[in-house]
């Protein structure tokens, strides 16, 4: 298994059609400079023969972060500022897309594409060994970086015991996977997250008294078939594997999984036990991630 160390931080994304605009107009639209500031910048730009952004920085009107935000819009790679949305700060892939932590996420994404998704597989379970290992946050950020790549991405919260994706993405739809499996809702209740490039999130839904039975129903298999037919990448968050067999049921529907452990906390014996269970069940373990936070 491949080990990738990822430190916990925060992130988010913004969708716009202003990528063809020049830097000056984008800075005005974003409120980074005022019209009177633009005149000063243009004068300095003409006098020194430098770029608009460089002139604005020289005048102390904008920062390096402002330039990166504008360039991200021009190159169709926008992202949100921390004070611009209600999403969790744990979404580091969106709030801090140029950080070293997100570079590690992109490296993990590249490995997953080469080792799993390029092999005509579309679904992947993200399995924490024990509570607190960070699997849910990794699943959320993985979904974001896959959508940043232009992949039509679906994030499913299959942790029917203590779900968190509805909190991370501030979902207003209270129904989710459990309601679909119980026959109380249709699959179209998944929420398209407009602030992101191409990301849809399906929350866990109503907390059921029988999560394991729901996840072992044949209609979960049917639902996953529909999901992989409609999306390029399906990331599925699960309950911690050391506490229940829910994750095993989910992973068997996905065909592949990555294991998530926490440095200096997760016991190797538990990790090995879960690895053996998945292998016996025919689930391919694509890799493992050690969270260091």
Report yes or no: 55 and 109 within 8 Å, Cβ to Cβ.
no
141/271 same-domain check: yes
Q: Order across the sheet with 199-202: list the strands.
A: 3-6, 284-291, 256-262, 123-128, 233-237, 153-157, 199-202, 191-193
Q: Does one domain contain both 59 and 182?
A: no
- Note if the pTM is more than 0.85: no
Report yes or no on 234 lying in a domain.
yes
% the chain with pLDDT above 90: 58
* 58 and 175 fall within a common domain: no
- In a domain? residue 196: yes
Residue 6 lies in a domain: no
Q: At 157, which CATH number?
A: 3.40.50.300
Give the model's confidence band at 82: pLDDT under 50 very low, under 70 low, under 90 confident, else very high.
Answer: low
Task: Determine the structural domain holding residue 59 and report its residue range.
Answer: 15-75
Cα 15 to Cα 127, 142, 155, 223, distances in angstroms? 30, 18, 18, 29
In-domain check, residue 7: no
The verdict on 140 and 24 lying in the same domain is: no
Q: Do residues 38 and 158 share a domain? A: no
Same domain, yes or no: 250 and 174? yes
What is the dihedral sign for C-alpha 162, 3, 121, 218? negative
Which pLDDT value is given to residue 135?
96
pLDDT of residue 27: 82
User: Are both 208 and 277 inside the same structural domain?
Assistant: yes
Examine residue 201 and state whether it is found in any structural domain, yes or no: yes
User: Would you place residue 29 in the very low, low, confident or very high pLDDT band (cuts 50, 70, 90)?
Assistant: confident
* Dist CA 159 CA 164 (whole Å): 8
pLDDT in tens, 45-57: 889 899 888 888 8
Give the Cα separation of 275 and 131 in Å (integer): 17
Q: What is the pLDDT of residues 173-190, one digit of tens each?
A: 999 999 999 999 999 999
Residues 102 and 196 grouped into a single domain: yes
Domain assignment of residue 123, yes or no: yes
Among 29, 49, 75, which residue terminates a domain?
75
Residue 104 lies in a domain: yes
Co-location of 188 and 64 in the same domain: no
Dump pLDDT digits (tens) for 211-247.
999 999 999 999 999 999 999 999 999 999 998 999 9
User: Quick check: is 9 in a domain?
Assistant: no
What radius of gyration do the chain's Cα atoms show? 21
pLDDT of residue 75 exceeding 70: no
Count how many domains the chain has. Answer: 2
**Is the pLDDT at 154 greater than 50, yes or no?**
yes
- Last residue of a domain, which of 24, 48, 75? 75
Instruction: Give yes or no: residues 163 and 229 share one domain.
Output: yes
Q: Are residues 100 and 210 in the same domain?
A: yes
Please check whether residues 60 and 197 belong to one and the same domain: no
């Amino acid at each position: 298994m491949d080990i990738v160390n990822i430190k916990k931080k925060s992130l988010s994304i913004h969708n716009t059609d202003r990528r063809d605009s020049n830097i000056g107009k984008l800075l005005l639209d974003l409120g980074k400079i005022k019209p009177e500031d633009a005149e000063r910048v243009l004068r300095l730009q003409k006098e020194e023969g430098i770029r608009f952004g460089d002139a604005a920085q020289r005048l102390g009107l904008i920062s390096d972060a402002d330039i990166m935000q504008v360039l991200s819009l021009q190159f169709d790679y926008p992202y949100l500022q921390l004070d611009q949305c209600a999403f969790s700060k744990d979404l580091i892939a969106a709030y801090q897309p140029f950080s070293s932590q997100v570079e590690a996420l992109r490296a993990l994404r590249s490995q997953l594409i080469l080792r799993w998704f390029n092999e005509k597989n579309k679904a992947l379970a993200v399995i924490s060994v024990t509570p607190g290992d960070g699997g849910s946050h990794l699943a959320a950020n993985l979904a974001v970086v896959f959508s940043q790549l232009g992949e039509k991405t679906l994030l499913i919260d299959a942790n029917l015991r203590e779900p968190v994706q509805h909190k991370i993405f501030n979902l207003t739809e209270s129904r989710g996977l459990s309601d679909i499996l119980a026959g109380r809702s249709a699959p179209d209740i998944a929420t398209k997250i407009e602030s992101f490039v191409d990301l849809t999130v399906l929350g866990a839904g109503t907390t059921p008294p029988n999560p394991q039975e729901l996840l072992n129903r044949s209609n979960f298999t049917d639902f996953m078939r529909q999901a992989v037919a409609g999306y390029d990448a399906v990331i599925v968050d699960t309950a911690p594997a050391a506490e229940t067999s829910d994750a095993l049921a989910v992973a068997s529907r996905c065909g592949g999984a990555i294991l998530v452990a926490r440095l200096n906390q997760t016991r190797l014996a538990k990790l090995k036990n879960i690895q053996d269970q998945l292998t016996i069940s025919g689930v391919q373990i694509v890799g493992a991630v050690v969270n260091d936070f």
